[in-house]
Structure 1
Amino acid sequence: YGKDTINQYFPSLNRYNSYYQQFGIRLNGTKPTNGFLEFYNATTNEWIPSCDRAFTIRNAQVVCRELGFKSVNVYEWLTPRWNYNPKITIRKNHVTPRQCIGEELKFDHCPLRMSNNL
């Protein structure tokens, strides 16, 4: 897997220690094959929605593969979650965005994407 250069400057972030980078994923929807992507936060013991506006089709391929689905014809889209109150000022979202190559077996194997789109 490709490593980014940020690890050279901040090795204490433990970015490539698998203990710190593992997390669960699921689709929260009406069918097992579609829904909002959520990540399990073991610290708070809750499922947190993904809020990555730069989520790619390659990321979706890896998510589908990890969830046990075929990754040939994946479909991803961005849409608001209407079951969340837009007036609430506290937002919970997951870890630093990932940039998958598309061949990874799990989403937490994808390198971190360091950009202005955090």
Structure 2
Amino acid sequence: LFVFVFCDKTFIHSSPMGEADEKPSNNGASPRYSSNKVADIDTELSKMKASLESRESEVVSLKAALLEKDVLTKNLEAEIEKSKATEKKLVASFEESKVEIASLKVRIDGS
């Protein structure tokens, strides 16, 4: 059975025999990341965050454009339906006119 305990900058290891060793956690070595490396990582994270925010903004703009397109499409569909109804009325009116003309011809020829 091994038990590991971390206390501040000290590593204590208890062996099955009850012996304990005390060692500095980093053996006096330099920190894992230098301040330059941390600054580089922070810079990269800032760039990534800015890129993400820019893309989110693009997504919002694209969604707005899609909504606008949908509204325009619905308006065009409504105009098409109105045009079809007008066309039907015009065709019916034309057919009525043809009947009236035929009726007038019959009257003229009969006189």
Which TM-score applies when normalising by structure 2?
0.14
Higher helix share: 2
Structure of greater Rg: 2
